[in-house]
Amino acid sequence: MADTQDRVLRKKTGKLIKEMSVRSFKEIKGILFINEMIIKDHQHNHTTLYKLLSTEVNPTLDESIFTVRHLER
């Protein structure tokens, strides 16, 4: 399984803007998904937790959802 990874975003001045930390991955039908990650916004002093609660891989979809009218909504 993939290792957890951290990423940072900085301004050209080197000042830290955001930091993303992937805490865990989940494999579903041979495809890796981020299961949980934390994004820290250092400019606005805000933290977001992303957690995958459920997912479906290759679900059967009704073709009518791909009409131009439906997609432009």
Domain extent at residue 26: 6-71
Which amino acid, residue 5?
A: Q
Give the per-residue pLDDT at 6.
82
Tally of domains in the chain: 1
Tokens of 67: 């009409």
pLDDT digits 0-9 by tens, 30-64 = 999 999 999 999 999 999 999 999 988 989 998 88
Q: 19 near 40, Cβ under 8 Å?
A: yes
Q: Which residues have C-beta within 8 Å of that of residue 39, sequence separation ≥ 6?
A: 18, 19, 20, 21, 47, 48, 50
Alpha-carbon distance of 1 to 57, in angstroms, equals 18
Average pLDDT, the chain: 87
More confident residue, 42 or 9: 42
Q: 39 near 20, Cβ under 8 Å?
A: yes
Give the per-residue pLDDT at 15.
87
pTM: 0.63
Residue 49 domain-assigned (yes or no): yes
More confident residue, 13 or 50: 50
